[in-house]
Chain A
Amino acid sequence: MSYVPVTPEQRARMLAACGVRSIADLFRDIPSDSAPRSFDIPRARSEMETSAFFRELASRNYSHLTNFLGGGFYDHFIPAAVDAIVSRSEFYTSYTPYQPELSQGTLQAIYEYQTQIARLTGMQAANASVYDGGTALYEACQMALHATGRNRVVMDGGVNPIYRKMLVSYTANLSIEFAEIPVSHGRTDRQRLFDALNAGTAAVILQNPNFFGVIDNHADVVEHCHSRGILVIQSVYPIAMALLKPPGEIGVDIATGEGQSLGIPLAFGGPYLGFMATTRELIRRLPGRIVGRTVDRHGREAFVLTLQAREQHIRREKATSNICTNEALCALRAHVYLSLMGKEGLKEVARLCRAKTAYAMERFRAIRGVRVMESSPVFNEFVVHLPMDAGDAAGMLVERGVAPGLPLGRFYPGMENYLMIAVTEKRTKFEIGMLAESVESVICQ
C-alpha cells in the first residue's frame, strides 16, 4: 500500500503527456552502473497487521512501572485536551510557516509560546524552540562565544551530565576551552567557580534546580560574572519556575531548558523541546525561528517569521546556527499545557511535586542503612546513599513494579551506591510508601 492514488490507466495517460513510454524513461539520468545492488525490503503489510505488530512490541516495554525516574525528564500529568488539540491535522500536517497567510495558526501559536517561555523564565525574548535542552545549552554557548569574542566556558558540575557530554562532543572541532567545577554539598561551589574564571571566559553555565534536584539562588554568581564581562547561561526546569526565582529575576543573560515536562510524553527520549530565552540585547543572536507580531497591508494584526537575516537560508556559512526544522509541535504542546494549567495550576503542580518529595525524603530518613543527601534544599528530586550498589537495588525493585530512581554511578564514577529519586504530582502517598518499603526490604536481603 503506497497511498498512491494514480490508477494504471491514469499512469499511462500521464506518461504519454510527458512524451515517454515507460517509467524507466523518467529515471534515465541514473547511470545503469548505479542500479541498486539489492533492495531487500519486506513486502507490504496491511494496516491491521502493522498495527498488531507494533502493539505487540509496545507490550514488551515496561512502561507500567511506578516511575520515580527523573534526571531532567519527568513523568508529569498531561491533560487530555493537550492531545486533542495537537491532533488537529491543520497543525501537525503543516510545515515551517513560510507563507504567513496560510500559517497564522502556527505563527500565532509560536508567538504565544515565546511569550509563555519569556514569562516563565522572566526573560524578554524567546525563540520558537530547538531540538532539546542539551542543544539549547550548546546554542546558548555559541551565542555567548560570539557576543563576547572569547573562547572559554566554565560549567558547573550540577549541569545535567548528558548536556555536558553533548557540549563536549559538539565543540570537539572548535577551539573552545571547557572547565568543569564539581559541586560542593550538592550546590555550585562559588570559590572554585570564581577561581576558574579568567579574561578569556565567555560564559558560565549553571542549572537550577541542578541535576541533583538542589535549588539555588545564583544572583551572586551572576553579579560576579557580569563585573568581569562574562555572560551567565542558566538551564532551568520549567515546572519549578512556577515557584523558584526565575533567571530573569537575577539577571541571567540566556535561559535554556528542556520543555518535556510541559505536556510532552517521555517517549523513550523524544521528540522533546529545547527552549531558549534571552535579553533584548542578545535577541539578534538567538538561533532558530522567531515569530514577530506585525500588521498586514490592511492594518490587521498578523504574525510572521522575523529576524530571518540570522538564518542559514540567507546567511549560509555565516548563519548564527544551522538549525532549520525545530520542534514546533512540541512547542505547541507546551503552549497548550501552560494555557490549561495557567497561573494557579502550574503553581499547584510545583507545590504537589515539592510536598510529595519532602514526604518521600521523610520516609527514606526512617530507613536504617539509607542516608538522604540533604545539605541543601531540593525541588522534586533527591539523592540517597544505599548500603549496596544502586544499580543492583534498582534491578531488584523493578521486579516489584517500581522504577525507583536513577543510579548515579554511570554518570559520576565513585557514586555507585547513590540513587536519585524524582517525585512528581502523579505519585501518591501510597506509591511513595511502597517505594520506601520496597527499598527497605531489598537492602535488608
Chain B
Amino acid sequence: MSVIFEKSVSGRRGVRLPASDVPDPPPIPAECRRGSDAELCELSEADVVRHFTWLSRRNYGVDTGFYPLGSCTMKYNPKVLEEIARLEGFASLHPFLPQLRHGGMLVQGALQVLYELEQLLCEITGMKAFTLQPLAGAHGELTGMMLVAAYHRDRGRRKTEVIIPDEAHGTNPASAAIAGFRTVSVPTEPATGMLDIAVLEKRMNDGTAAIMLTNPNTLGIFNTRIRDVVEIAHRHGALVYYDGANLNAVLGKFRPGDAGIDVMHVNLHKTFGTPHGGGGPGAGPVGVSEDLAPYLPISRVVKRSDNTYALNYDCPKSIGYIAPFYANFLVCLKAYAYIMLLGREGLIEASETAVLNANYLMNALREDYELPFDRVCMHEFVLSARKQAEHGVKALDIAKALIDEGFHPPTVYFPLIVRESLMIEPTETESMETLDAFVAAMKKIARKAAEDPKSILDAPLSTPVSRPDEVRAAREMDVVYP
C-alpha cells in the first residue's frame, strides 16, 4: 500500500473549515452540476503529513548530498531565501492590485524588487535591458526567439532560419521551431570542442535570423572565438542569442553584452541559487541590447523621477504577453536576495570556485576515464565511459554504481556528441573533502569495471527501487491511478 489513494478511508477529514455565516445559496442549475463526486482521498492531517514525509525520504536533494548533475548547477541554496519568500508582504500580494487606480503605489516594494533585479542582471551580463517575465530557461529561449522574429519583421527582413550548434541544449532547437524558425545545425570541431567556424561561415546566409550560442558550451568549454561568431552573424544581419544556462562559470569574468551579444537568457535557478523544486519553478529572464529593447514583453517596470516605481503597458512594438504577470515573482525575489548576500566579490568567488572545483575533479579523474576534450574546462566537463564500456560497463551503470556510493550521478548520455558521456558539474558550494570522496568513489567504480564488471551491473542495491522498467512504463501508460 503506497499510493495515497490506497490509504483513503471513507468519512475521514484532514481540514476543518469555519461554519457558514451566510444563508445557503440557490442550487446550481442541474445541467451544470457535477454528476458524481471527484474521488479525492479522505485522510487525516497526520495521514497526509506521514505520507509525504515518507515520500520525501525516498528523494535526494542538494541538502542530502553531492549532486553533480551537469548543466543543472545544483548548488547549495541559502535558507534565508526561503524565509524571505514566505514574507506575508510578498506571498499574499495579489497580482491584479496594480490594476486599481494608482495601484502601482500599493506594490512599491514588489516593483522595486523587479526593477532592481533587472538592473543587477544588466550589470552582471552587460546587456542593456532585461525582462523578468519568462518563467523558465526554455521559456526565455522562446521569448528570445520571439524577440528576434519581431526585430527582423519590424525591419521588413525575411529571415527564416536559426543556426544551432550540435552541442546546444535540446530545448534550443525546440524553442526556435516553436517560434516559427527552421533550424540548421553546426557541428563541433573534434579537436577543440568548439563549434566549427568554417562550417558556420557556410551555413550562415541572408536568411539566417540568429545563431543560438551556449558559452561555455555543454562540454564546459569556453568558445575562444566568440567575437568571430558575433562578427560573422552580424555581417549577415543575423542576431546572436546567448543561452545563459552556464553563466555560473563566468560571473565577473565575461559579460555577453560586451562581446556584442544581442539577446540572452539567464536561468535564475541555476546561477543565482534558487532551489530547483524537483523540476521547477525556475525563471529565465531575458536580456537584450538597445536595439531589441522596444520589443520586450508587456509590461515594463519603470522608475519614475520621484523614485517611485510603475508598470508601463504602453509598448507599441512589444511582442505582447508571454506570461500572465510580471515574473515568477518569488523566484526573482530569492535571486535578488542571493545576489545581495554574495555581493560583487562573492559572485566572482562563486564562479572562480565553480571552475576550480570542476578542473580539480577533471584532473583527478582523467587517468581512470577517457577525457574526450583535453583542455582547461569551465564550470563542468564531460568524460566518456568508453574504456569501461569495453568491459560491458556503460555510463548508465556507472551512474547507478555512484548511487550506492552515496552520490547523485552526473548527467549521462548528454551532450549527445560524446559517446557514453558523463557530464559533471560540481558547483562552488562543494568542499575539497566532498570532491575527494567523489573521486575515490569514481576510481573504485573504474577499478571494479575492469576487475569485476558484473558486480556493477546490479547497482544500485541501496535504494528502494532499482532500474525501473521504462519500456513497460511507456507501453502500459499507467499514468493515473485507476
Contacts and interface: CB of A to CB of B under 8 A. Distances in A.
A4 interface: yes
Interface stretch (A221-229, A263-271, A364-372): A263-271
B411 interface: yes
Q: Which of B169, B170, B348 has the most CB of A within 10 A?
A: B170
A429 B341 CA distance: 45
Interface stretch (B104-112, B197-205, B384-392): B104-112
A292 interface: yes
Given A18-B356, A131-B136, A169-B320, A91 B59 contact: yes
A133 B123 CA distance: 33
Contacts of B23: 355, 358-359
A347 B183 CA distance: 49
Interface in B249-292: 250, 252-255, 258-259, 269, 273, 275-282
Interface in A144-202: 162-163, 165-166, 168-170, 172-174
Contacts of B363: 17-19
A354 B20 CA distance: 11
Q: Which of B259, B359, B375, B414 has the most CB of A within 10 A?
A: B359
A233 interface: no
Interface in B45-75: 45, 48-49, 51-53, 55-64, 67, 69, 72, 74-75
Contacts of A88: 52-53, 56
Interface string B400-434: 10010000110100100000000000001111100
B165 interface: no
Given A30-B254, A102-B60, A128-B279, A267 B477 contact: no
B109 A42 contact: no
A56 B146 CA distance: 37
Interface residues of A, number: 212
Given A102-B408, A217-B32, A5 B277 contact: no
B252 A39 contact: yes
Contact of A356 (B22, B178, B321, B341): B22
Contacts of A316: 170, 173-174, 183
A90 B281 contact: no
Contacts of B74: 93, 95
Contact of B360 (A18, A64, A126): A18
Contacts of A432: 22
B316 interface: no
Contacts of A93: 61-64, 74, 77, 275-276
Given A36-B126, A215-B28, A296-B469, A120 B278 contact: no
Contacts of A243: 28, 33-34
Contacts of A13: 432
A412 interface: no
B136 A37 contact: no
B299 to A, nearest CB: 11
Given A296-B465, A344-B13, A47 B479 contact: no
Given A17-B364, A95-B74, A395 B101 contact: yes
Interface in A326-362: 326-330, 332, 336, 338-349, 351-352, 354-359
A294 interface: yes
B302 to A, nearest CB: 17
A445 interface: no
A295 B124 CA distance: 47
Given A69-B97, A295-B472, A289 B466 contact: no
B255 to A, nearest CB: 5
B279 A317 contact: no
B326 interface: yes
- 6 pairs of A and B residues whose beta carbons are closest in the complex: A269-B325, A44-B343, A58-B89, A395-B101, A169-B320, A105-B59
Given A26-B355, A124-B480, A166-B321, 14 more contacts: A6-B353, A85-B56, A95-B279, A104-B465, A109-B55, A292-B477, A306-B479, A315-B174, A322-B177, A323-B138, A339-B43, A352-B17, A394-B101, A406-B99
